[in-house]
Amino acid sequence: MLLKRIFCRVFQACFGLGARVLPWRKPECITGAGSLERLPGLLQSAGCKKPMIVASRRQCAAPEFIAMAERLPAWSGFHQVTANPKIETVEQLVTQFRAEGCDSMVAIGGGSPMDAAKAAAARLARPSRSVAQLKGLLRVHKKIVPFAAVPTTAGTGSETTIAAVVTDENHHKYAVNDLSLIPRWAILDPALTVSLPARVTAETGLDALTHAVEAYIGRFYNTRETRDLARQAVKAIFMYLPRACADGSDLHARQELLAASYRAGFAFTRAGVGNVHALAHTLGGLYDVPHGRANAVLLPVMLEAYGPAVYRRLAELADVVGLCPAGSQAEKARAFIAAIYDMNRAVGIPTGFDCIRTEDLPQMAAWAEAEANPVYPVPVIFDKDRFIRVAKRVMLS
């Protein structure tokens, strides 16, 4: 294990240096209530004549969507995306895109429609490669079709990330990561989020919190900008998530959460995520647990498992949200973890999962370790046994 830790840290240090010269970019960000109305003009300005719109039928029946779509000369809709999108769904989307003669992609919804659309865009850019062959880092390396991301949840941050997360036929959840998958446009319209149920609002908001925290406590890849964005996201989520859960029509809270999700998304795109995500992806792949819920439950448990290695950074986040101002570094860190538990409880997040089967633990640990190491710049490198110990802490059966 010592040699593995050394290898991981050397890899991360080298990758962190190399990442500083990569052409990172942000989408053109359009914000505010009613901003979806600007989408037709953006597509027209890029010479797009027929977008493929990946959205649920419910989204396509919304008044905001209908008003926008009436201004498009032509479009095709794809409505078959489910939670934790499958590779077969991505392939169906690729086939329909070609058959309908589309020239651009619009994803409207939560993380699943955006992930499916981004994976399809990667396949269209690299038609000779399967999704599995594009898995990992920087394997697309080719410009995709013009892409607009319109989040209707404040959580995944996919509208600004390099990732498209999919699930294969073996229930293995993994990511295609490439700079070309950063959308050209991100439209943050809070009016599209007001109908979200409190449960979905909570789970997606805590997904964004996980992105921000894991980005902030990571090693090697962080920059001054990513840490600043992560702090801003953490502060906003603590302030506005309870408000949005209590009153879904609070447009100001909704807008602030969309901004927090966007900032957290950019922060973790550049700074990386960690062991929470590695284990959460196994829950999504094996049991279809919503990603935000998996992250929300695992986050405080994993922070406790890291121990003193994260105290300094968590103490800084405690200061950001005004916790335990007179406490020691360790006391502030523990107060921050306790505050996450408290918020989980307040917004209805469960304490664990009754779907986890003991016989699945070795496979979960193997997938989590393979995902995390050596790429994720985690505060503490976990082996399979440590992943299993964390998984057991969130088993309810």
* 85 in any annotated domain: yes
Residues 212 and 356 in one domain: yes
21's tokens: 């010269």
Per-residue model confidence as pLDDT tens digits over 298-328: 999 999 999 999 999 999 999 999 999 999 9
Instruction: Assess contact for 159 and 268: CB atoms under 8 A.
Output: no
Backbone angles phi, psi at 11, to 5 degrees: -60, -50
| 94 plus 162 within the same structural domain | yes
What domain range is 252 assigned to?
2-19+196-393
Query: 253 and 185 share a domain?
Result: no
Helix (H) / strand (E) element for 218: namely: none
Tens digits of pLDDT across the chain (397 residues): 789 999 999 999 999 999 999 999 999 999 999 999 999 999 999 999 999 999 999 999 999 999 999 999 999 999 999 988 999 999 999 999 999 999 999 999 999 999 999 999 999 999 999 999 999 999 999 999 999 999 999 999 999 999 999 999 999 999 999 999 999 999 999 999 999 999 999 999 999 999 999 999 999 999 999 999 999 999 999 999 999 999 999 999 999 999 999 999 999 999 999 999 999 999 999 999 999 999 999 999 999 999 999 999 999 999 999 999 999 999 999 999 999 999 999 999 999 999 999 999 999 999 999 999 999 999 999 999 999 999 999 999 6
| Cα–Cα dist 112/149, whole Å | 12
How far is the C-alpha of 215 from the C-alpha of 305, rounded, in Å?
Answer: 17
Using CA atoms, how far apart are residues 187 and 39, in angstroms rounded to an integer?
8
Query: Which of 166, 192, 218 marks a domain boundary?
Result: 192
3-state class (DSSP) for residue 109: strand
Which of 192, 217, 234 is a domain's end point?
Answer: 192
